[in-house]
């Protein structure tokens, strides 16, 4: 009974968190990005990695692999951006 209550409470909080994130996303869509922001080209690889990372059903292993790959892409991109600034 207690574990059922905890599970239901966590599920409700998760739903509220997701809806809060969606609302925040809608607010931010109208704001211009800072000049410091570099946006990845939306290649099929980036789109797939993003989809995997954002999917709540993604396994731990797939999440870690995708997150590591995105991190590598970010580091590569930061090296390129640093060369452009210099």
Q: Distance between CA atoms of 43 and 51, rounded to whole angstroms?
A: 12
Q: What's the pLDDT at 82?
A: 57
Mean pLDDT in runs of 10 for the chain (86 residues)?
86 85 79 78 92 94 95 83 54
Q: What's the pLDDT at 84?
A: 55
Q: What's the pLDDT at 65?
A: 96
Residues 6+ apart with CB under 8 A from 40: 46, 73, 77
CA distances from 17 to 52, 56, 79, 81 (A): 19, 13, 34, 34
Q: Distance between CA atoms of 8 and 33, rounded to whole angstroms?
A: 38
């Amino acid at each position: 009974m207690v574990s059922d209550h905890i599970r239901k409470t966590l599920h409700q909080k998760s739903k509220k968190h997701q809806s809060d994130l969606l609302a925040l996303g809608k607010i931010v869509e109208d704001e211009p990005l800072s000049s410091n922001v570099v946006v990845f080209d939306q290649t099929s690889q980036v789109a797939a990695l993003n989809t995997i990372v954002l999917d709540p059903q993604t396994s731990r292993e797939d999440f870690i692999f995708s997150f590591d790959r995105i991190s590598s892409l970010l580091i590569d991109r930061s090296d390129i951006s640093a060369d452009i600034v210099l």
